[in-house]
Structure 1
Amino acid sequence: MLTVTQECMCGMTRRWSSQPFVGSYLAGNLDISAGILYSGSIPSKALRFLEQMNVKAITNRTYFNHQQAILYPSILGVWRVYQSKYFQTMRSNNMSICIGGDGRCDTPGHSAKYCSYTILDVNYMVVADIQLIQSNEVKSSCHMEKEGLVRCIGKLKEQGLEVGELVTDRHPQITKFVREEMPNTKHFFDVWHVSKGLKKKLVKISSLKDCASLQPWIQSITNHLYWVPVSTPSGEEDVIVEKWLSHITNKHDHSRPKFPKCLHGPIPDDRQRQWLDPSSKVFVELEKCIGSTRVKNDIKKLSPGPQTAALEGFHSVLNHFAPKMIGFSYEGMLSRLILAALHFNENMQRPQAETKEGKKRFSVVFPKVKAGDYSLKEVKVPCTYGMFLNS
């Protein structure tokens, strides 16, 4: 900061500073610290960049002082106000809510220090609550995800909200908790999580000797997994299972009472993909996989409607604000979680971008999960950052 002191011959003294003060803090320096944190940047890299440009700036120590004294309390205050407005709106609707939940550990494996559990209101596409659990708060790191859900549900109950439907992954501890402690809540599994695990098993089977003929069927089987619950909005578990066990052997009439016949039309005889022989090794291995008790029980609980795909998108946003390669303090991690949630909620409902001619814009992407295949994706209008600017 530059300070100029003027002394007049009449004895009057005037002092000018290049930065105004916010309390006892220099406003410009505080803006630098806020900009680093609110943009999800890493302070050491951001300040090193300014140093390389020969731009005089604050030190790391000054940044951390600002962060602890001003920025963390400000972020928590904005989040409390935001949550309060959301809870008030939900209470005024006088209806149970449908939420999706998923956890995210700061490191893979069983050595994670933190696990953040996020619940998303799938009807309004709003992150309703985030809980951060540290591994020393529970028996072991593998218990953190369940503890996160327990705290999120407790928060909703404190606010007088009832959970009508809950969509999660297949976490056994969560399944048991919901079954025993939330008997009035319908618990569904997210289809993508089940599909991902099933696809790995199918790929493994197709790599066995004399089982390569399964490879062309893998995508169809996983697609069928999505169709089964969506085509059964009533949620009848027996119907869902019977639909799942139909056909890849060119048999379309079944002895099952609730699904006696396939719903598709005639299939051309000149189709390139070959039907599987019921007596072949590949079919036997496939039947053991998709007909297992575990898989059938999972199929019964697949969500016919809401999914947790938006939470995967939120985790991508979170990777920007809190990269897994960087270690944060508890307050630092919690604040960056909140920043990610505020940014996600502000931009989740962005409209699709248009060309100058008014046509909707799309882009071709090659997602990792498709192993080289492409998908068509909507191009959204640029993100906004009003929540940070207004705070």
Structure 2
Amino acid sequence: MTRLPQSEEKREEWSQKLRIDIKEKLGGLKTGFLCRKHFPLQKNTHFRPRQSLPLRPRKLSEKIDIDEPVENLDSESPTESLSDDLICSSDKEYDPTQEGFADKEEDFEEQERYEYLLVDYEILLKALLFCRKCYSEDVSFKLERNNGACTSMLFDCNNCRATWHWASSKLLGKSKQRAVNSIISSSCAVVGLPYSVCDHNVKLVKLSVLQKLLEFFNCARIPCLKKRRNYQILKKYVMPAVADASEEVQKEELNIVLLDSQKTGSLNLAGDAMFDTPGYNAEYCKYSLLDVKTNMVVDVEVTKKPKKESSKAQEPKSLERVLNRVIDAIESHDKKIKIDSITTDRDPSVSNLLKTKFKSIKQHYDAWHYVRNLQKALWKKEDQTQMRPVKPWIRLLTNHLYHAIGTSKGNGKLAVQKFMGFFLHVQNKHKGFKKFRNFKFTKIRKCEHKKLVNNSNYLDITNDKDSKALDILVEMSTKGKKLDDLERVSPFFSHNNEKGFAMRSQLSTLHWNSLKLEERSGSRQKSGTKSHFSKSLKRIVWNDFFTPATHSWRRKIVEDVKKRCSIIDNNGTKIPGVKKEGKLGGASDSDEEMLPDSTTG
């Protein structure tokens, strides 16, 4: 049998060639198969090569001349006579887009190679309880102390009195570190899975499933690392490996950003801070800078709050450090590139820093936070009776606000006038803009949309209810410094223990930049769009989704941790003469040499 193509165009091409309606035959099914009698007969092989279009439908009695007949084609066996109706590994699959057998591929994916397996304890003992010297099954064993997730046993042959040790995981180099322990700790770190959140004796209350890995091991009665040992591996091996990987990717993406910026000579950044806890008792602050053109994280700074300073004071301090580093990198790469603008939130301390120490950099306010604050204020009143006339316009108001910011391309005054034009639009006035109350129009005179169909929701200001609702809407949208802040809103629409916090910051940056690098190289492509309900917007939105990422950086860190464990002893010093790659043998680490009890000297 041959699988039908998934493409509608290819299926139509097959339908014309076969003179049948494939869509009707499938009856709404997405997947279908075609009998081999519609294709030229070829010699059976292990592979399923791709071929040309199918032949026209032929009668079973029709003879076809072939150079190499199919094996067992004339067999009288019932099973073989029905082979056209069976799906077997020797079937050939044909591609209607190409002719001949030039491109031969396997239709199956290579099975993933595993390094670890979960094995029942009883099944494992059956495989181990025999003497490697005299092959006797009269063997006794004794469990030794577990080394994390590694189990060790001492075997004793009652027939030849030989003894030997066995361990479920190999040693890395000459250190006492077992490979399985480094794998568990590093894998948990790179996928963002907390290994444990409390001691075994503390009752867990309302904890996420992801925070119960240690409890899962205990419940399944699987040997596992203790919290203390896990932290030692993280501190000694995983954190340095993550730092090196992060630095490597950071240099690569910074070079890409600077090369792209050479064309325009300017760099537009966006920055935001994240704290380890909400409120004003945060201990650590992470500030990230992102290039709005490539959407890559340029640099990240993690700071710890001193005892005599507030948590909020860490944001401008982190921004200053990260900006200085980026400026130094630009000067060492190409002095012609300048930082043109930076998009931040409306924090007064950040604005004061940029005004005093970075005067050449233009500050924009984040559009998302600006619109979000206005949305929250409007949502609180939209269900009130006095707001009924303008309720259908509230969502359109926020959409128009985004449009005004985005199409003004950084011209703040133009953005304000486009936004104020909305209040004339709701009155069914679309041209001849001169003045709205005390606001004067100097840059625009009409709406930017095309001719519209009559809308029954237009407001009539001669109606007291409509007039009052419009007054409230205008007041909430323009009160205070809202229009002044709107002039500085960014057109780029950018959203955006100390070592442990720094490592998680590096991992998040690694993950984000790796996705962007894969999209840039073409290995991760857009697959389509999907909808979901946005809690912040309170409506259905559509987002792009891409092909699965490789996440190769995760495996790279895990392998790096194994190498670090193999060349570093317990005191943290490198051992000379030890190769980075550990031994890979059947009995080199797991099965130590058997030593007879009485014959050893």
TM-score, normalised with respect to structure 2? 0.55
Check the 8 A contact 1:5/1:14 in 2, yes or no: yes
Q: Distance in 1 between matches of 2:543 and 2:407?
A: 25
Check the 8 A contact 1:190/1:307 in 2, yes or no: yes
Q: CA deviation at 1:208?
A: 5.0
Match of 1:254? 433
Q: CA deviation at 1:374?
A: 1.2
Q: CA deviation at 1:182?
A: 1.9
CA RMSD of aligned residues (A): 2.7
Q: CA deviation at 1:251?
A: 2.7
Q: Is the aligned partner of 1:179 residue 2:355?
A: yes
Alignment of 1:136-155 (within 5 A): 136=306, 139-155=309-325
Check the 8 A contact 2:257/2:291 in 1, yes or no: no
Structure 1 counterpart of 2:172, from 10, 21, 42: 21
Q: Is the aligned partner of 1:277 residue 2:461?
A: yes
Write the letter of the residue equivalent to 1:244: F
Match of 1:307? 493
Structure 1 counterpart of 2:344, from 168, 187, 196: 168
Q: Is the aligned partner of 1:214 residue 2:390?
A: yes
SS class of match (1:203): helix
Q: Deviations over 1:278-319 (max 9, x none)?
A: 762222222223233511112111222x2223x3xxxxxxxx
Q: Distance in 1 between matches of 2:238 and 2:374?
A: 45
Check the 8 A contact 1:116/1:133 in 2, yes or no: yes
Of 93-102 and 146-155, the range deviating more from structure 2: 93-102
Of 61-70 and 95-104, the range deviating more from structure 2: 95-104
Q: CA deviation at 1:166?
A: 1.1
Seen in structure 2, the aligned counterparts of structure 1 residues 78 and 22 have a Cα distance that, compared at 3 Å, is: farther
Q: Distance in 2 between matches of 1:151 and 1:364?
A: 39
Q: Distance in 1 between matches of 2:460 and 2:274?
A: 40
Check the 8 A contact 2:187/2:554 in 1, yes or no: no
Q: Distance in 1 between matches of 2:449 and 2:471?
A: 25
Match of 1:263? 448
Check the 8 A contact 1:240/1:300 in 2, yes or no: yes
Question: How many equivalent residue pairs?
Answer: 358
Match of 1:335? 503
Q: Is the aligned partner of 1:72 residue 2:257?
A: no
Q: Distance in 1 between matches of 2:446 and 2:174?
A: 75
Q: CA deviation at 1:41?
A: 0.9
Write the letter of the residue equivalent to 1:379: F
Structure 2 counterpart of 1:43, from 189, 195, 212: 195
Q: CA deviation at 1:191?
A: 1.6
Q: Distance in 1 between matches of 2:450 and 2:296?
A: 40
Q: Is the aligned partner of 1:376 residue 2:554?
A: no
Seen in structure 2, the aligned counterparts of structure 1 residues 68 and 276 have a Cα distance that, compared at 3 Å, is: farther
Check the 8 A contact 2:270/2:344 in 1, yes or no: yes
SS class of match (1:98): strand
Alignment of 1:180-199 (within 5 A): 180-199=356-375
Check the 8 A contact 1:245/1:291 in 2, yes or no: no
Q: CA deviation at 1:89?
A: 4.5
Q: CA deviation at 1:3?
A: 6.1
Seen in structure 2, the aligned counterparts of structure 1 residues 156 and 23 have a Cα distance that, compared at 3 Å, is: farther
Q: CA deviation at 1:66?
A: 0.6
Seen in structure 2, the aligned counterparts of structure 1 residues 137 and 124 have a Cα distance that, compared at 3 Å, is: farther
Match of 2:403? 227
Q: Is the aligned partner of 1:352 residue 2:526?
A: yes
Seen in structure 2, the aligned counterparts of structure 1 residues 385 and 99 have a Cα distance that, compared at 3 Å, is: same
Please say which structure displays the higher CA radius of gyration: 2
Q: Is the aligned partner of 1:52 residue 2:216?
A: no
Q: Distance in 2 between matches of 1:344 and 1:41?
A: 17
Q: CA deviation at 1:189?
A: 2.0
Stretches of structure 2 that go unaligned for 5 or more consecutive residues are: 1-149, 197-211, 332-337, 435-440, 558-601
Write the letter of the residue equivalent to 1:238: K
Q: Distance in 2 between matches of 1:290 and 1:79?
A: 43
Q: CA deviation at 1:28?
A: 1.9
Check the 8 A contact 1:121/1:128 in 2, yes or no: yes
Check the 8 A contact 1:103/1:145 in 2, yes or no: yes
Match of 1:108? 278
Q: Deviations over 1:208-235 (max 9, x none)?
A: 55233222111111111111122223x3
Q: CA deviation at 1:254?
A: 1.5
Q: CA deviation at 1:390?
A: 1.4
SS class of match (1:379): strand
Write the letter of the residue equivalent to 1:141: S
Seen in structure 2, the aligned counterparts of structure 1 residues 370 and 307 have a Cα distance that, compared at 3 Å, is: closer
Stretches of structure 1 that go unaligned for 5 or more consecutive residues are: 312-328, 354-360
Match of 1:288? 475
Q: CA deviation at 1:334?
A: 0.8
Q: Deviations over 1:349-380 (max 9, x none)?
A: 33223xxxxxxx43221111232x21222232
Seen in structure 2, the aligned counterparts of structure 1 residues 268 and 160 have a Cα distance that, compared at 3 Å, is: closer
Write the letter of the residue equivalent to 1:30: S
SS class of match (2:301): strand
SS class of match (1:211): helix
